A and B are shown apart, each in its own frame.
Chain A
Amino acid sequence: MIGYILRRILAVIPVMLLVAVFVFALLRLTPGDPAAIIAGDMATPAQLERIREAMGLNQPLHVQFVTWVGQLLRGDLGTSLISNTPVTSMIGARIGPTLSIAVLTILMSVALAVPMGVIAAWKHRSGADYTVMAFSVLGFSVPVFVIGYVFILIFSLKLGWFPVQGFTPISRGIGPFLYNAFLPALTLTTIYVALIARMTRANMLEVLGEDYIRTARAKGAPERTVLFRHALKNAAVPILTVIGTGFALLIGGVVVTETVFNIPGIGRLTVDAILARDYPVIQAMILLTSFLYVLVNLVIDLSYTFFDPRIRY
């Protein structure tokens, strides 16, 4: 088992290396010239050339790659070509909004989705079941920006309950934070509720068919105990998996809500960087989100070996 765990951890290295190569190759094959963005529209070709030279963009690609990997190994993510700011501090300034909204989304999704899934499984093939399932398919089917705009229209413009945009860090109080973060989180929640509710329901259905549940019921245990104590507990691992994976996906998937609600998070940072060809920022961001994804998956995979007695390696 220790051997397995070690192997799984070591397997992260080639994956991350491949991600690094992919990203680097992809970016350098893409037409674009950060020097042109820096210099602006009235710059002369000679001026552009001097800026390119000063930024090291004229060096051969393999030299640039080696330089970059060397920096990475020293824990240096580089400096933005455009704003001349260290990438680490740019990410530091902007990961807060993304993370806090992701956490809030997960909390809201779990609070809504788990009971929904449990009820749907409990009242299998009833009206409640169909409603929950229909809602969850809907969550997958409407583009997230449409949901965002509809929420803004209703809750901000018509009812005036929430601001239309912006972000307040949690350090300025939970109230102000929620005031700004609730609508974006609610928008994302519609997707994750769908995901988690379906997962919960599917696993609950499976568990509710097991013998020990029938035994518990036969023994006259109250329905609530059966559902939450016995069934949900046993269905918990796969549900946690979805939540974990969902969280990793969220970090990369908030781009749209950050645009709709004007949140200064890392999703928009990355899209802006792609449009401006700010290579160090794009590379760092994609590496970081990929690493997070791989990490969450690793933790989940490993947790199976601990929690699920059926799996032996």
Chain B
Amino acid sequence: MAQTPEPRSAMQPVLSVIRLPHFGIGPKIAAVVLLAIVIVTLLANWLAPHDPLTMNPLMRLQGPIEGHPLGTDNYGRDILSRVLIGGRLSLAIGIATAIVAVALGLVIGMVAGFFRTADAIIMRMMDALMAIPSILLAIALVALNGPSVGSVIAAITIPEIPRVVRLVRAVVLAAREEPYVEAAIALGSSMPKILVRHLVPNTLAPLIVQGTYILASAILTEAILSFLGAGVSTETPTWGNIMAEGRQYFRLKPELILWPGLMLSLCILSINLLGDAARDMLDPRLKKRAG
């Protein structure tokens, strides 16, 4: 079982789909757009015309009016301010998920790839985790811990881990066969040393690419969790929960879905394009190492 070559696992084609051509100007535009979104989000506190939490229920669901360029939501809060500030938590959840998933996946994948005894058990657990539809798993996890920011991050992260583990394990398995690693083993280098010095660097490039995709999909998943009623509190706006609350008012106030939806889509689109570009750039190495 342990010898099953990774590249032929069923998910691999789905992952490799992500290999993309040079868009030429595409990634550059994407970089500019993403940078703009990040800057706007970082400066949201100063750019936002209002506090995103201050309500005025008597001025709810107003169209664009004086002082509220995008109008107000169902509590009479300023939509523009909420969309601007909502980006902060959306991005933060995405970044946190990417970092935690990659870090945990790296450690688990290393162990699986390097220690034959642990491999079978770890990989069966990863198979099991992957088999559970990720959105259902995430909803159940949020139900378990309550929809705090931390538990939403955990709920999005856990289903992402197996993919990272598989990737890391594949790279480690391939690298183990490399002469210099075999030499290091033969020379009796300590295990941690081999792992850190020889194997981790090999995984970096594919992990960066994988990390960007996790970032993009985490932002999307947060929105879907909110939509299904398992998102973070309305007192901590995200693009996702603004849309989720706004969906009841979609026909009256489409701004509540369209604006955060546009920001979120642009953001994910740019991240995906940049991820594709990074993948292309690193392609030769990826091809050789990860198949």
Partners in one complex: yes
The answer to whether B85 has its CB under 8 Å from any CB of chain A is no
| Smallest CB gap from A199: residue in B | B17
- Cβ A274 vs Cβ B139 within 8 A: yes
CA distance A29 to B143 in the complex (A): 10
- Cβ B143 vs Cβ A30 within 8 A: yes
Given contacts A252-B133, A274-B136, is CB(A238)–CB(B13) below 8 Å?
A: yes
- Cβ A11 vs Cβ B10 within 8 A: no
Instruction: Chain B residues near A143: list those with CB within 8 A.
Output: 220, 223-224, 227, 240, 243, 261, 264-265
| Smallest CB gap from B270: residue in A | A141
- Cβ B13 vs Cβ A242 within 8 A: yes
Instruction: Chain B residues near A142: list those with CB within 8 A.
Output: 261, 265, 268
The answer to whether A146 has its CB under 8 Å from any CB of chain B is yes
The answer to whether B69 has its CB under 8 Å from any CB of chain A is no
- Cβ A245 vs Cβ B10 within 8 A: yes
Contact of B17 among A14, A129, A202, A255 (CB under 8 A): A202
- Cβ B143 vs Cβ A304 within 8 A: no
- Cβ A15 vs Cβ B250 within 8 A: no
Most buried by B among A16, A202, A304: A202
Given contacts A26-B144, A245-B10, A255-B135, is CB(A133)–CB(B216) below 8 Å?
A: no
Instruction: Chain B residues near A7: list those with CB within 8 A.
Output: 1
Contact of A11 among B1, B8, B134, B254 (CB under 8 A): B1
Most buried by B among A129, A195, A199: A199
Main secondary structure of the interface of B (DSSP, over half): helix
Main secondary structure of the interface of A (DSSP, over half): helix
CA distance A30 to B135 in the complex (A): 17
- Cβ B23 vs Cβ A30 within 8 A: no
Instruction: Chain B residues near A18: list those with CB within 8 A.
Output: 124-125, 127-128
- Cβ A252 vs Cβ B268 within 8 A: no
Contact of A124 among B21, B240, B265 (CB under 8 A): B21
- Cβ A140 vs Cβ B268 within 8 A: yes
CA distance A144 to B223 in the complex (A): 10
User: How far, in Å, is B216 (CB) from chain A's closest CB?
Assistant: 7
Of the listed stretches A53-61, A210-218, A221-229, A285-293, chain B binds A285-293
| Smallest CB gap from A297: residue in B | B10
User: How far, in Å, is A9 (CB) from chain B's closest CB?
Assistant: 12
- Cβ A22 vs Cβ B132 within 8 A: yes
The answer to whether B35 has its CB under 8 Å from any CB of chain A is no
The answer to whether B58 has its CB under 8 Å from any CB of chain A is no
Instruction: Chain B residues near A253: list those with CB within 8 A.
Output: 133, 135
The answer to whether A90 has its CB under 8 Å from any CB of chain B is no
Instruction: Chain A residues near B14: list those with CB within 8 A.
Output: 195, 199, 241-242, 245-246
Instruction: Chain A residues near B23: list those with CB within 8 A.
Output: 130, 133
| Smallest CB gap from A138: residue in B | B269
Given contacts A15-B128, A141-B272, is CB(A304)–CB(B8) below 8 Å?
A: yes
- Cβ B132 vs Cβ A141 within 8 A: no
Instruction: Chain B residues near A300: list those with CB within 8 A.
Output: 10
Instruction: Chain B residues near A249: list those with CB within 8 A.
Output: 133
The answer to whether A282 has its CB under 8 Å from any CB of chain B is yes
- Cβ B128 vs Cβ A137 within 8 A: no
Instruction: Chain B residues near A22: list those with CB within 8 A.
Output: 128-129, 132
Instruction: Chain B residues near A48: list those with CB within 8 A.
Output: none
Contact of A149 among B134, B136, B247 (CB under 8 A): B247
Instruction: Chain A residues near B224: list those with CB within 8 A.
Output: 143-145, 256
The answer to whether B141 has its CB under 8 Å from any CB of chain A is yes
Instruction: Chain B residues near A69: list those with CB within 8 A.
Output: none
Most buried by A among B5, B17, B224, B276: B17
Contact of A30 among B128, B133, B144, B240 (CB under 8 A): B144
User: How far, in Å, is B225 (CB) from chain A's closest CB?
Assistant: 10
Instruction: Chain B residues near A27: list those with CB within 8 A.
Output: 140
Instruction: Chain B residues near A124: list those with CB within 8 A.
Output: 21
- Cβ A137 vs Cβ B265 within 8 A: no
CA distance A238 to B134 in the complex (A): 23
CA distance A22 to B265 in the complex (A): 33
Instruction: Chain B residues near A141: list those with CB within 8 A.
Output: 216, 220, 265, 268-269, 272
Those of A248-279 within 8 Å (CB) of chain B: 249, 251-253, 255-256, 259, 270-271, 274-275
- Cβ A259 vs Cβ B228 within 8 A: yes
CA distance A137 to B20 in the complex (A): 10
Hey, what's the 0/1 contact readout for A13-26 against B, CB within 8 Å counting as 1? 01110110011001
16 contacts between A and B (CB under 8 A): A15-B124, A18-B127, A22-B128, A22-B132, A26-B140, A30-B143, A130-B26, A141-B272, A149-B247, A195-B17, A198-B17, A198-B20, A241-B10, A256-B228, A259-B227, A301-B8
Q: Can you list the 8 inter-chain pairs with the closest CB atoms, starting with the nearest?
A: A252-B133, A18-B128, A290-B131, A141-B268, A297-B10, A141-B269, A30-B144, A198-B17
Instruction: Give 20 new A-B contacts, CB below 8 A, not counting A124-B21, A141-B220, A275-B229.
Output: A11-B1, A30-B144, A31-B144, A129-B21, A133-B21, A133-B23, A140-B272, A141-B269, A142-B268, A143-B227, A143-B243, A146-B257, A241-B10, A252-B136, A256-B224, A256-B227, A256-B228, A259-B227, A274-B136, A290-B132
